[in-house]
Amino acid sequence: MEFAIWAYPWDLLEEGPDRVATQLSNLGIDELNLATNYHSVQAFSPHNPERRTFFARASSYFQPGSEFGRLEPVPYEGMTGDWVDEIAAQLSDVRLNSWTVGCHNSRLGMRNPDVTLTTAHGDDLVFGLCPSNPDVQDYLTALVRDMAARDHFDRIELETFDYFYGTGFGWHHQKIHAQLGTLGEFLLGLCFCDHCRSTASDAGIDVEQARKTVADTFDSIVAGTVPADLSPELWLREHDTVADYVDIREETLADLYAELSSASGSTPLGYYVGAPEPGREWMVGADLERLSEHVDYYCLPAYESSREAVMNAYRTVDALAPDVPLHVGLLPGHPAIHDEATLVEIIDALRAEGVPRVSFYNYGLLPERSLDWIRAATDTATL
Ligand SMILES: [Zn+2]
């Protein structure tokens, strides 16, 4: 079993990449998933030598190459030079992977409202770029091409390269005083931008009927006349036009992943699954069986608190895509795992299941005692 850990560039640079490399070696880890292009963040950094908090808007931690078109990553304002290159140059014994955030980018969304997800009521959701939009597709493909061209990375891992929707993690002080439930949140985020509409219309779908059904049902959930806990699968079974509209997105995303695969060249491509919950990846437009033709593996962040919950999540997703390896992410800290014994138990169960690789979330965010648990768990797994 291989072990990796997610990390932010500021934590690596402020502690010193060589010191972190030594620390990782002590933890039994030889792979770093480095945030290269990232959404806005307010991070708590319990063992960073220079700070306890870090805030950044959606930023790249590299200087973008020449591949980009209309949409281009915005380098972090506090960065001089190129942090990705700097870190890569200083890490010798640690393999480096690009942890790459795609459509969740409120900075680009605010600057370019025409490329964001658009609700059935016509509102722009600034935190999410729509992957049906050709400019967004060019942006995502250029991101992968830029990462692949750097030669630093053993893998390129994709987060929210899909119809990401929902709350945008709430950093913008989101206020919603109505119970939307899983169905309501899904309907709120279902995109009716010009590109989603024309793709569906070309496929013979009555787009206006789909949009009206989604808008009316959403309003009915808010009014309390449709239950907020109604399962989206059951609801779609009764609403064929919307079901067809949702299915078309999976084809669009599969076509995009063919492009991403070609842009990554010989660098293995992984996609983070499990959102909005394991087994419901269709809600972000991802048909795991179809996408597995274009990716080398999936990684499931299973930030659960028990062996049973982690293994349930793992088996649910593995059954949807048995043809590519499924890696697992764990959170050995608050609010998921609270002690060493539980982490050891989970790692042992994943090893027994034949899981090839586990990534821990995340080097700079975890208190030092959590790092001690990782040391114990990786030791056990190598016995
Ligand atoms: Zn759209």
Of 114, 165, 122, 120, nearest to 286 by C-alpha is 165
In a domain, 218, yes or no: no
* Over residues 157-170, mean pLDDT: 83
Query: How close is the Cα of 116 to the center of ligand 1, in Å?
Result: 7
pLDDT of res. 175: 86
pLDDT tens by residue, 104-125:
999 999 999 999 999 999 999 9
Note whether residue 36 is domain-resident. yes
Q: Cα–Cα distance between 85 and 61 in angstroms, integer?
A: 9
Question: What tokens were used for 6?
Answer: 């997610």
Average pLDDT, the chain: 96
**C-alpha 214 to ligand 1 mean position (Å):** 14
- Taking the centre of ligand 1 as the mean of its atom positions, its distance from the CA of residue 173, in whole angstroms, is 24
Q: By residue range, what is the domain housing residue 89? A: 2-164+253-382
Mean pLDDT across 89-94: 91
Q: Please check whether residue 188 lies inside any domain of the structure.
A: no
- Of the chain, the percentage scoring pLDDT greater than 70 comes to 97
**55 phi, psi to nearest 5 deg:** -120, 135
Ligand 1: distance of its center to the CA of 131 in Å?
7
Side chain identity at residue 305, one-letter code: S
List the structure tokens of 146: 């830029």
Could you tell me which of 34, 41, 43, 27 has the C-alpha nearest to residue 61? 34
Decide if pLDDT at 57 tops 90.
yes
What phi, psi does 226 have (nearest 5°)? -115, 130
Instruction: Tell me the CA distances in angstroms from 284 to 30, 43, 163, 278, one per residue in order.
Output: 32, 26, 5, 12
Q: What would the pLDDT profile of 317-356 be if each residue is shown by its tens digit? A: 999 988 899 999 999 999 999 999 999 999 999 999 999 9
Per-residue pLDDT for 206 more than 80?
Answer: yes
- Per-residue pLDDT, averaged over 76-88, amounts to 97
278 CA from centroid of ligand 1 (Å)? 23
Distance between Cα 165 and ligand 1 center (Å): 11
Residues near ion ligand 1 (CB < 5 Å) are: 130, 132, 191, 193, 196
Phi, psi of 233 (to 5 degrees): -65, -45
Q: At 165, is the pLDDT very low, low, confident or very high (cuts 50, 70, 90)?
A: confident
Beta-ladder partners of 118 = 124
What tens digit of pLDDT does each residue of 127-163 get? Answer: 999 999 999 999 999 999 999 999 899 999 999 999 9
Amino acid 217: pLDDT: 98
* Residue 248 Cα to ligand 1 middle (Å): 11
pLDDT at 8 over 80: yes
Residue 170 pLDDT level (bands cut at 50, 70, 90): low
Instruction: Report the pLDDT value the prediction gives residue 208, as an integer from 0 to 100.
Output: 98
pLDDT at 60 over 90: yes
**Structural domain includes residue 140:** yes
Query: What is the SS3 assignment for 68?
Result: coil
Residue 193 lies in a domain: no
Res. 373: pLDDT tops 80: yes
CA of 117 to the centre of ligand 1 (A): 5
Does residue 190 lie within any of the structural domains? no
- Ligand 1 center from residue 219 Cα (angstroms): 20
Q: Please check whether residue 219 lies inside any domain of the structure.
A: no
Rounded CA separation 210/192 (Å):
9
Q: Is residue 66 part of a domain?
A: yes
Question: How many domains does one find in the chain?
Answer: 1
| Residue 173: predicted pLDDT | 80
- The reported pLDDT for the residue numbered 172 is 73
pLDDT value at 168 more than 80: no
* Residue 19 near residue 25, CB atoms below 8 Å: no
In the predicted structure, residue 203 carries a pLDDT above the cut 70? yes
The CATH code of the domain that includes 357 is: 3.20.20.80
CA of 197 to the centre of ligand 1 (A): 7
Cα 133 to ligand 1 centre (Å): 6
Q: Is the pLDDT of residue 380 over 80?
A: no
The confidence band for 171, taking pLDDT boundaries of 50, 70 and 90, is low
Alpha-carbon distance of 79 to 36, in angstroms, equals 12
